[in-house]
Structure 1
Amino acid sequence: MANTTTKITLLTLGAIKPTGTVYFIRDRELIGFAIKVTAKGQASFIVEQRIKSGHTFRHTIGNVEHIPINSARAKAHEMIAIAKRGIDPRYQQPSKPLETQTLGWCLEQHINTNNIAESTKCTYRNQINNAFGDWLRQPVENITPDRIAERRLKLLQDKSTNYVNACLRALKAVLNNSDLPSNPVKVAGKKHRFSVQSTTTEHEEFLRKDEIVKLFDGYRTSSNFTEAYIDDGDNDGIYLGNRPQPNIFAACLYLMLIGGREQDVYNLTWNMVDHTNGIISYPARSRKDKKRHNIPMIGMIKDIIAEQPKHTRHPNLVFGMTHEMFRRRYNQSIRPITGHTSKSLRKTFAEHMGLDRYDSTDVGIALNHSQAISGTVTSKHYQSGALIIERQLREIFLAFQMRCVHYAMGYSYDDDVKSDILGDAGIGDEPINLNEIPDKVLITTFLNATFPTFCKLLKDRTSPETLDAFEGLEEVFHLMNA
């Protein structure tokens, strides 16, 4: 699509679509105000202007889905006015003199003057403190491109390239809040020929079937409670009963089943869980993509949520974990199983759904990717398609749960997932020797005890003969345990 000039309105936004090339929609009334549309259809408000007696700049105001048109137009008008006075508005700050601006001051400016999630604020502070902590009290004038290049080489001696690049990107963003004429991180990259962009990892970052089974097994042996005692001077102490404890296996299994990010655990509060309609509603502010996302509580997802107790320390959090608590428990208990970061759980969902012939659009809907759920003016403002998406998500989530059980039963990637899993366990085919109970029978019994909602869905697909045999086997296990 060719570049166009028109009055930017809601109708303009509704007509935006991917064309395979980048194009611009410039405003007819406010010269310098425009929309940049990427090849994939991502649109952002921008401002273009020549600084008086200086160079021309282009600055991104923000995504068109996150900023109202009037707010973007007002911001563009303000920046154009500043540029016409001969000042680069990108570095215009109502701040103190440059010589008194320290890195620590810029960090607080960046965190407090931008709409940044709490978890992201924590990440900025950690990265700046870990990589550049000794620079926090130094004036930003002293942070030169050469010093940045030297620090980069030092960090690379014991840190991964992606981590170092992430720290440099954080430093670059923080220094944008200073009155420096140019960002020293950007200058350092050009001068010393390095990029701060993340690189593709050389190894796969998703769980294979054996690792998925291990995660389920970890959940099977984990508990949402721990025994509490009070010291009475005796060796055993006085038993006070069971006390709720955060269960990292429950949290990570939940993330994998919904294809979620780690913040979907520590941002999940009980007021977001609608038991009546069976929906978990994530507001836009709680998510990295700043988009509302509804999760239907189907099968195992509902069972995991139903088992979560009200935690004493954080009673409003479903999983009872803050950001730091999640990271610490993940690295201690889950990473030895997966070998990857928590992002691998989201990638696992996407990777294995491809085996069930779900295309990128279907998976994108489940992951709440904007290119999969964006549409026309009608779909955005009148017919949201929420009910259709909810139905699709129920189907996709249940299919993934079935595939996980498929792996637990010992089948391979190439085998088709059978809908009659209970019947496939072989219950009722022949008398069972309780001293040599088949693995499939044990797995099915575990599923029925741990995921009753999921198993009810399975029983709707199972023959009456198999169900009778299954119920008889449950009675035997009950007598054995008694």
Structure 2
Amino acid sequence: MTNKLKFTKGAIEKILAPSSGQYFYWDTEVRGFGLRVSVSGSKSFIYQTRVNGKERRITIGRFGSITVEQARDQTRKHAAQVASGIDPVAEKQKAGRKGITLAQATEAYLTGRNLKDSTRKDVERAMKGFSDWNKKALVDIKPNMIEARHKELSEASPTRANLAMRYLRAVVNYANAKYSGDEGEPLLSSNPVKRLSVIKSWNRVSRRRSFVKPYQMKAWFDAVNTGLTALKFGAELRDCFLLSMLTGVRPSEALQLQWKGVDFKHRTLTFFDTKNHSDHELPLTDWLKDLLEARKAIAGPEYVFSTADGTRLKDTRTGIAKVIEISGVEFMPTDLRRSFITAAERLDIGPYTLKRMLNHTISNDVTAGYIVPTTDRLREPMQQIEDVLLRDAGVKEAEAQA
């Protein structure tokens, strides 16, 4: 329902709330200047018009907070914008988008993207490097600020500095798309992190190539097998390290292994929802089968690397430090994966078979698209890798002597 009225303070004060819904009054002096009255008795000034065929309505302010004349003046300004071809609603939305802060953009990225818990933690840790910018609007983060902050972060760790900037770039790109205008216009004309590429100032970080070498394997294996018993989750750490070494799976994925993914009858292991968002099935080799059968007797009912009461192992850092202390073999979790790969190369295992074992996505390779190595096809090469690693560790010889 609508009605026309010359707006004055006294006239508006006399207006009663409708019994339901909303009631609109329109000023007789300025076209499009209105008053919206709700069932609660709230009265708000509005401006309504059409721009480029679109119905537009702007809330100017609540009666009592601004005067009739102030609201009428605001309406005249909006009308002048429309006469000049400017959409006041679009301008208001644009101003709101320009106020999006880094904290808001980061939260939108974390909630809007389908991120794994490990990736989410990485993003949150990396974005701490920009915590003093959290209240700053994205549009106010300039390329020169990016350059200076990258240099500052690089003093502590060139690798982490690069990673932090990559996550920042991803957050800004996501916000640029999420908060684009009705016509798709981006929030920013350019991602400020692009400055690092333009001036070629990304840190040169050599790819880590370390692994547990064959001559180190016995010391490493002995330390893992007997040196962790005094630690909390000692048995779980031991078995997790050994499984990672003998399968080449990412340590973070090994920690997620569930008993429903262990099939002793068909001798397969399935790691669910891995880094590339797919399940990864591998054959269960001889020695590893014995290890997991023993683990089944002492673990919880859901996760493989858990105690009898179901408490999960979630971090391997204490175990790594202890093994390094005992064996003298420096290693990181991903070094176990590289040790597996190196053993495969020593056995001349083909690249497509190795990629399948490692759950690597094969792209831009026409031939690879026709090759689908099955789990059974992987059984023999996986067993060969296990055997050579255990021989390096002296386990095979020990079994033979027994």
Q: Which interval holds the TM-score relative to the shorter structure?
A: 0.5 to 0.7
1:360 maps to 351
- Structure 1 residues 258 and 95, CA, compared in 2 at 3 Å: closer, same or farther? farther
Structure 1 position 217, deviation (Å)? 0.6
Q: Residues 84-163 of structure 1 correspond to what in structure 2 (within 5 A)?
A: 97-129=96-128, 131-159=129-157, 161-163=158-160
Return the alpha-carbon distance in structure 2 between the equivalents of residues 95 and 153 of structure 1.
33
3-state SS of paired residue (1:339): coil
Deviation at 1:400, TM superposition (A): 1.5
Relative to the length of structure 1, the TM-score reads 0.53
Between stretches 149-158 and 164-173, larger displacement belongs to 149-158
Q: Quick check: 2:143–2:192 contact (8 Å CA) kept in 1?
A: yes
Mapped partners of 2:313, 2:141: distance in 1: 30
Q: Once the two structures are superposed, what CA deviation does each residue of 1:366-416 show, in whole Å capped at 9, x if it has no partner?
A: 2122329x9899969xxxx5xx62233221221122212322349xxxxxx
Do 2:239 and 2:291's aligned partners in 1 also have CA atoms closer than 8 Å? yes
- Structure 1 counterpart of 2:191, from 137, 162, 183: 183
Alignment of 1:216 onto 2:221 = yes
Q: Would you say the 8 A contact 1:224–1:309 is kept in 2?
A: no
Q: Is the 8 A contact 1:245 1:311 kept in 2?
A: no
Please give the alpha-carbon distance, in whole angstroms, between the structure 1 residues aligned to 2:224 and 2:172: 44
RMSD: 3.6
Of 299, 303, 310 in structure 2, the residue corresponding to residue 317 of structure 1 is 303
The letter for the 2-side match of 1:353 is: A
CA contact (8 A) 2:233 2:313 kept: no
Match of 2:287 in 1: 300
Alpha carbons of 1:95 and 1:214: their partners in 2 closer, same or farther (altered >3 Å)?
A: farther
Hey, what's the Cα distance between the residues in 1 that align with 2:140 and 2:189?
Answer: 13
Q: Is the 8 A contact 1:262 1:343 kept in 2?
A: yes
Instruction: Give the aligned residue type for 1:271.
Output: K
For 1:173 and 1:335, how far apart are their aligned partners in 2?
36
> How far apart in 2 are the matches of 1:95 and 1:335?
56
1:194-240 C-alpha deviation (Å, 9 max, x unpaired): 237x7433x632220133222311232156797xxxxxxxxxxxxxx
Which residue number corresponds to residue 479 of structure 1? none
Q: Report SS of the residue matched to 1:110.
A: helix
Unaligned runs of 5+ in 2: 1-92, 176-186
Matched, 1:401 2:386: yes
Aligned to 1:164: 161
Which residue matches 2:7?
none
1:250 maps to 239
Deviation for aligned residue 1:258 = 0.6
In structure 2, the residue matched to 1:348 is: 339
| Aligned 8 A contact 1:244 1:310 in 2 | no
| Percent sequence identity over aligned pairs | 20
Q: How do residues 278-293 of structure 1 correspond to structure 2 at under 5 angstroms?
A: 278-283=267-272, 286-293=273-280
SS state at 1:215 partner: helix
Residue 201 of structure 2 aligns with which residue?
194
- Deviations along 1:447-482, one digit per CA (max 9) or x if unpaired, are xxxxxxxxxxxxxxxxxxxxxxx6xxx6xxxxxxxx
Query: CA contact under 8 A between 2:305 and 2:312: conserved in structure 1?
Result: no
Unmatched segments (≥5 aa) in structure 1: 1-93, 227-242, 411-420, 426-442, 446-469, 475-482
* 1:5-44 alignment, distance < 5 Å: none
Deviation at 1:100, TM superposition (A): 3.1
Distance 2:196 2:118 in 1: 28
Structure 1 counterpart of 2:255, one-letter code:
Y
Distance 2:293 2:313 in 1: 24
Count of matched residue pairs: 294
Bigger CA radius of gyration: 2
Distance 1:258 1:167 in 2: 30
- Structure 1 residues 404 and 147, CA gap change in structure 2 (3 angstroms): same
Q: Evaluate the alpha carbon distance shift between residue 377 and residue 185 of structure 1 in structure 2; reply closer, same or farther with a 3 A threshold.
A: closer
Counterpart secondary structure, 2:281? strand
Q: Offset of 1:266 from its aligned partner?
A: 2.1
The 5 Å alignment of 1:44-59 reads none
Contact 1:281 1:295 in 2 (8 A): yes
Question: What one-letter code is carried by the residue in structure 2 that aligns with 1:118?
Answer: D
Q: Which residue of 2 aligns with 1:444?
A: 399
Q: Is contact 1:152-1:164 (8 Å) kept?
A: yes
Change (3 A) 1:378 1:346: closer
d(CA) in 2 for partners of 1:120 and 1:269? 20
Q: Supply the AA of the counterpart residue of 2:322.
A: S
